[in-house]
Amino acid sequence: MRPQTRAERLWLDVTNAPLALGIAIGGLGIATLISAFNDYDPMIFLFYSVPTAGVLARAVWKANARRTRLGQLLGAALGAHGDADSDVATDRLPDIPVCVSQKWIYCAREKDVDVQPLDKMIWAYAETIYLRRRVQLVIWNRGAGANVLPLRRRHLAAALDRLRRAAPWLPVGYNAAMKETWNADHREFIALVDGCRDSGRPFRAPWAGQGLAPTTASGPINAIQSIVDSVEERERDKLMQRWEREGG
């Protein structure tokens, strides 16, 4: 992926301007509504309009800054791994937080881009977060490590489709049978994925699923989280304990 020219960066800034303007106008609308309940007091209008519009505009600025930073990091990572001139789908990053080449998988995390060999990936699925509009993409490697990548629901289908197209041998989806196979028969699970990858066959096990995994969100707004650990931590702990027992 080639670096953006100055003209292209300027064009992107201009295309983001209407969004920032719309949010600022929305802040003014909120302030107007509040002041209407106070006989249109101009001081109340100013008190609410300036901070409201400022907070919303700052949120847009931060999102755009993150998008630019991750785009630059992805470009550097592609160049470092020989994919700068490859046909790698990089559009809509970080809305779709994963890019895949023939040998590497690039995951856009909160502040960096993680790069791992594609043939080390074993399983990918999406988690739906209780009481949240967002979902997250979970990609496990053969070392029981996972990249957990938050994204909006409207981008989920495109993210999963990108994985399926780039690596048809990779299991993409979730159900109870896959979870139990991963936990109880993980070596057979890995061997099956390796066999599909080495032979160029799509992963089509009869017990495989295409669903989403339920999970709970961290933070004080979700009391369930204080009782139930995250899916990633539970599955990693169980897997590592089983490997330790079998290795001993």
* 148: β partners: 138
Domain boundaries, given as residue ranges, for the chain = 6-74, 100-247
Evaluate whether 108 touches 70 at the Cβ level (below 8 Å).
yes
Check residue 193 and give its pLDDT. 96
Question: Amino acid identity, residue 18?
Answer: P
How, if at all, do strands 146-152 and 213-215 pair?
A: unpaired
**What confidence tens digit (pLDDT) does each residue in 13-40 have?**
333 445 555 555 555 555 555 555 555 5
Mean pLDDT of the 101-129 span: 93
| Inter-CA distances, 184 with 107, 165, 211, 234, 241, Å | 28, 28, 20, 14, 11
Q: What is the pLDDT of residues 61-80, one digit of tens each?
A: 777 788 888 888 998 999 99
Reported pTM: 0.68
Q: Give the mean pLDDT of 156-168.
A: 95
| b/e map 53-77, b = 16+ CB within 10 Å | beebbeebeeeeeebeebbebbbeb
